[in-house]
Each structure stands twice: as structure tokens, then as C-alpha cells.
């Protein structure tokens, strides 16, 4: 996967880590990073630490479980950094990357993102335990 020259969104889920992927993408030549974290201030602080000429970094508080937050991320990224090339979801069980070039180009950008992001979120969240079924004795 080519990172050099790409605009990357890194959306962190509860229990995930955005620091490591942000540093990797920046070192690999990304031309812009948008960091999103559900806890207020976390993405903003990391963005301030990583921001540099050639790879501006924007941080926002966001919960990508919400389609409205995904829409806001798309708008914010396109306003400040340009069109999104890669969307990384960082969760407690690792990372998944959605390459937007692989998605159909004739669809609405938000509609394009919703399915692959929901799949990525599902892959990264620990599986739900089956409820314990009690049997009558």
C-alpha cells in the first residue's frame, strides 16, 4: 500500500491507539493526517505534537460509530487537507485500513465509507460474549 503523497484519516475506537499509526503514516510520507479520537483532547494533543511542514495534522474528537461523525470527518478532512485517500480504524485488536481508491467512484463519499468502516469496526472490536443460558434444574 502506497502512503507517500496520501491524505490519511486515523479514527481511534475505545481501547485503540492512534499514536503508532499516526507516526508510521507521517514517517512514510503522508501529505496530511486527520486524527479522530472519542475522548476529548486526545487527538488534538497528538496532532499538535506531530504537525509539521509537508504533513499537516488535524485532530478532532469524534465517535465513528455515528454516521454524522463520519460525515463531519470527511468534511473536515476535505476542508483542511484535501480528499481522503486512506481511512485507518485503530481499535483494541489492531488496525484496519480502507483504501478509498478501491471504492466505487460514482457513489457519495459518505455512502462509500459507511460499509467498509462498519466492517473494519466489527473486525477490531472484541467479539461479544454469548449470554449464559441457564437451564432449569
Give the separation between CA 55 and CA 6, rounded to whole angstroms. 10
Banded model confidence at residue 134, pLDDT cuts 50, 70, 90: low
Of the candidates 53, 15, 56, 13, the one whose C-alpha atom is nearest the C-alpha of residue 36 is 13
The neighbour count for residue 75, using CB atoms within 10 Å, is 12
Mean pLDDT of 99-112: 62
Please classify residue 11 by burial: count the beta carbons closer than 10 Å to its beta carbon, then call 0-12 exposed, 13-18 middle and 19+ buried. buried
CATH assignment at residue 110: 3.40.50.720
Domain membership flag for residue 120? yes
Q: Which domain holds residue 53?
A: 7-124
Work out the pLDDT band at 124, boundaries 50, 70, 90: low
Q: Give the per-residue pLDDT at 66.
A: 84
- The share of the chain scoring above pLDDT 70, in percent, equals 77
- What is the sign of the dihedral through the CA atoms of 67, 68, 73 and 78? positive
Judge whether residue 2 has pLDDT over 70: yes
Residue 45 lies in a domain: yes
In this model, does residue 131 exceed pLDDT 90? no
Residue 65: inside a domain, yes or no? yes
Residue 101 per-residue DSSP state: G
Higher pLDDT, 64 or 132: 64
- The answer as to whether 87 is a domain residue is yes
Q: How many domains are there within the chain?
A: 1
97 inside domain: yes
Amino acid at each position: 500500500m502506497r502512503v507517500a503523497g496520501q491524505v490519511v484519516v486515523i479514527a481511534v475506537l475505545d481501547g485503540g491507539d492512534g499514536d503508532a499509526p499516526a507516526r508510521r503514516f507521517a514517517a512514510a510520507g503522508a501529505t496530511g493526517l486527520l486524527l479522530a479520537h472519542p475522548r476529548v483532547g486526545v487527538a488534538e494533543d497528538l496532532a499538535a505534537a506531530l504537525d509539521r511542514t509537508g504533513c499537516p495534522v488535524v485532530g478532532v474528537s469524534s465517535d465513528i460509530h455515528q454516521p454524522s461523525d463520519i460525515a463531519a470527518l470527511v468534511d473536515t478532512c476535505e476542508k483542511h487537507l484535501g480528499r481522503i485517500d486512506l481511512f485507518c480504524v485503530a481499535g483494541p485488536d489492531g488496525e484496519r485500513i480502507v483504501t478509498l481508491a478501491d471504492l466505487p467512484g460514482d457513489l457519495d463519499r459518505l455512502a462509500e465509507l459507511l460499509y467498509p468502516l462498519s466492517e473494519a469496526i466489527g473486525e477490531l472490536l472484541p467479539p461479544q460474549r454469548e449470554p449464559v443460558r441457564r437451564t432449569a434444574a
